[in-house]
Amino acid sequence: MKKQFEIQEYKNNQLNPELAISHLQPEIWEKVNRLQVRKMLCEFSHELLLSPQLKRIHGIWGLYSLTTSNGQTEYQFLARILALDHWHIDNNSITKIINKQTEPLDAIAFLLEFTKELGFTDLNLPTYLEEVISCLYGSAYMHTNSQLTSKDLTKASYADVEHAMIAGHPCFIANSARIGFDAVDYQNYSPEAAAPLSLVWVAGHKNHTEFTSIDPLTYREVMQQELDSETKASFDLVLNEKGLDPEQYIYFPIHPWQWHNKLVYLFAPDIAASKLVCLGNSKDQYMPQQSVRTFFNVSHTGRFYVKSALSILNMGFMRGLSPYFMRTTPPINEWVANTVENDAYLQKKGFTILKEIATVGYTNGYIEEAIKVDSPYKKMLSTLWRESPMDKIAPGERIMTMASLLHIDTKGTSLLSELIKNSPLDTKEWLNSYLQCYLSPLLHCFYYHDMRFMPHGENLILVFRDNVPVRAIMKDIGEEVAVVNQQKELPEIVKRIIIPVPEDLKILSIFTQIFDSFFRYLNHVLVEHINLPEEDFWSLVAECITEYQSEYPELEDKFRKYDLFATEIIKTCSNRLQMQNSQKMIDGSDPFRNQKFAGFLKNPLSVYQAKLI
């Protein structure tokens, strides 16, 4: 009877069917479809997949037309083409015309109308459609339930800012799908919807589980940091009652979805044999971050982040964690941290990283024997602990994800404009402070250390004082950091971060990751919401670069070889890459092998003609 009661209680806790669709209302659906069509027009045109034609000029705007190949459907809209071929489209101007009649905007219909131009096949189109529809579902939820305004976020906690982000990665059309979550999972685990939740703790036998950490941190110290004595004792008791010795097991937290949807089935033999034991739920409560599989401890904010394998499809990858990579992740973080901490320039800029200080990887023997190649099935049960950013801020400081600089609330107000308005600086002074703490350190890492990160909005935390950015904290090190010099001497255990990069593509570490993937959108926000001429922003970027170059005249040859003031920039195409393979966009060991390029961008810095030392 007890089991039947527990099952019934579980069912009663599920959302009722109406709640799962309560946000799918006509007015909201029309709004999010319009926003998605605007983004598709912008990004597909940027990547030269679509070619809107200029019909006439209206002041600073051009009236553009895009017609389907059969000539039956036409889209018209007002747009300005900003630096880096960025299409700034007037959202309210987009009109769809069929047989001289105006029709509602429909993002899915748009994809079907331009299937050939976008390069879809019968094999890859269905998955992509599912991802885009999932994005629309989530966008409708956020536009229905988002409560904090941009002004509110200038005073909000770090967790509340993460919870409030609604845009996702700016480059990608299918950027916030979580294929694998059902409607209940979405409410429970998505960063925009979830309330604080518990993680599942498991114990893996040491014959199958490997713990790795930075020196001198030990497994025992991690447990003391993450578990109070009462919780640790209760977990020990679970094993003792099964006749198992806690000293033979490694304890670690995992994503609840992963446990209920993957591990209880695929790891059933290991569970039955007590190689893998469920210990129960965490006492601490966590909030999922924008990266979905990373959790911030809101019960004890000084405790570590937890990043767990999560076998859902999200923006071009199945979000697992390799137990093999877990073995080298702490040493890599230690090497990067030592590089950063021992560099006088980076310390002057206050640049730091959030170290991934400990990891656990569990190896499933059956899967390892069955599958000899790289596979998501091998990445289903790993966890890492990352430092908390709360330990890196001083009194009077607060932190935000850098993605917040692109945030536009549901009323159309920019968070960036509110931050500047509620700071003691004017716009240019504010931007200069931002560039000094963000761009300058990344330039130094690239030119001085041959090291690049993946410094897009979600991967970087900004430290603010009086709503002015004063320092940057880089995160997601183990999976994203790379050394682009194959002759660089590194410790053997760190060498996997050396990647092969053609000489002419090395500069894309800055041009693509910083300029095209973030500054392009930041420039748009500055133009649209703050009325800053785009030349003013790029002039500040040029000044920041030349200031850095003047401090390191000994790097002149590198500055010329990897020239940030070159006339043209190779255009990297993120959506072409994702649409080609939504399961695995790139190979981390050789990220340029599958990369998609389409022509060149005019470099907005070329007009400033750097004065190299």
Q: Express each pLDDT in 335-344 by its tens digit.
A: 999 999 999 9
Contact (Cβ atoms closer than 8 angstroms) between residue 587 and residue 374:
no
pLDDT confidence tier of residue 136, bands split at 50, 70 and 90: very high
| Distance, CA of 583 to CA of 312 (rounded, Å) | 10
Q: What is the mean pLDDT of the chain?
A: 92
pLDDT score recorded for residue 1: 40
Q: Is the pLDDT of residue 588 over 70?
A: no
User: CATH: 3.90.1300.10, 3.30.565.10, 3.40.50.300, 3.30.310.280. Which one for 21-164?
Assistant: 3.30.310.280
Q: Is the pLDDT of residue 14 over 60?
A: no
Contact (Cβ atoms closer than 8 angstroms) between residue 310 and residue 293:
yes
User: What SS3 state is found at 55?
Assistant: strand
Task: Determine which helix (DSSP H) or strand (DSSP E) holds 56, and give its type and residue range.
Answer: strand 53-58
User: What SS3 state is found at 297?
Assistant: strand
Please, which residues bridge with residue 572 across strands?
A: 597
Quote the tokens at residue 497.
């971060």
150: left (phi over 0), alpha (psi -120 to 50) or beta: alpha
Contact (Cβ atoms closer than 8 angstroms) between residue 353 and residue 337:
yes
pLDDT score recorded for residue 586: 60
With CA atoms as reference, report the closest residue to 80 among 58, 97, 95, 96: 58
Q: Is the pLDDT of residue 423 over 90?
A: yes
The set of residues, in sequence order, having a beta carbon less than 8 Å from that of 277 and lying 6+ positions away, is 202, 203, 238, 239, 242, 244, 249, 271
The set of residues, in sequence order, having a beta carbon less than 8 Å from that of 445 and lying 6+ positions away, is 346, 451, 452, 453
pLDDT score recorded for residue 595: 75
Strand-pair category, 468-474 with 352-353: parallel
Rg over alpha carbons for the chain, rounded to the nearest Å, is 25
The pLDDT of 402-417, averaged and rounded, is 96
Q: Tens digit of pLDDT for each residue in 56-109?
A: 998 899 999 999 999 999 999 999 999 999 999 999 999 999 999 999 999 999
pLDDT score recorded for residue 137: 95
Strand-pair category, 200-205 with 276-281: antiparallel
pLDDT score recorded for residue 613: 43
Contact (Cβ atoms closer than 8 angstroms) between residue 141 and residue 19:
no
Q: Percent of the chain beyond pLDDT 90?
A: 81
HSE at residue 464, side-chain half, CA atoms within 13 A, is 27
pLDDT confidence tier of residue 610, bands split at 50, 70 and 90: low
pLDDT confidence tier of residue 5, bands split at 50, 70 and 90: very low
| Distance, CA of 459 to CA of 447 (rounded, Å) | 21
| Distance, CA of 434 to CA of 406 (rounded, Å) | 14
Count how many residues are written for the chain: 613
pLDDT score recorded for residue 17: 82
Q: Phi first, then psi: give them for residue 455, nearest 5 degrees.
A: -90, 45
pLDDT score recorded for residue 114: 97
pLDDT score recorded for residue 584: 61
| Distance, CA of 423 to CA of 547 (rounded, Å) | 25
In the block, tokens 């993680």 appear at: 199
225-250 exposure pattern, b = at least 16 Cβ within 10 A, e = fewer: ebbeeebbeebbebbeeeebebeebb
Q: Tens digit of pLDDT for each residue in 503-552?
A: 999 999 999 999 999 999 999 999 999 999 999 999 999 999 999 999 99
Quote the tokens at residue 314.
């999200």
pTM here?
Answer: 0.93
pLDDT score recorded for residue 3: 41
Ranges of each domain in the chain: 21-164, 196-338+355-386
19-50 exposure pattern, b = at least 16 Cβ within 10 A, e = fewer: ebeebeeeebbebbbbbbbbbbbbbbbbbebb
| Distance, CA of 235 to CA of 280 (rounded, Å) | 8
Q: Is the pLDDT of residue 173 over 70?
A: yes
The pLDDT of 204-219, averaged and rounded, is 96
Contact (Cβ atoms closer than 8 angstroms) between residue 423 and residue 467:
yes
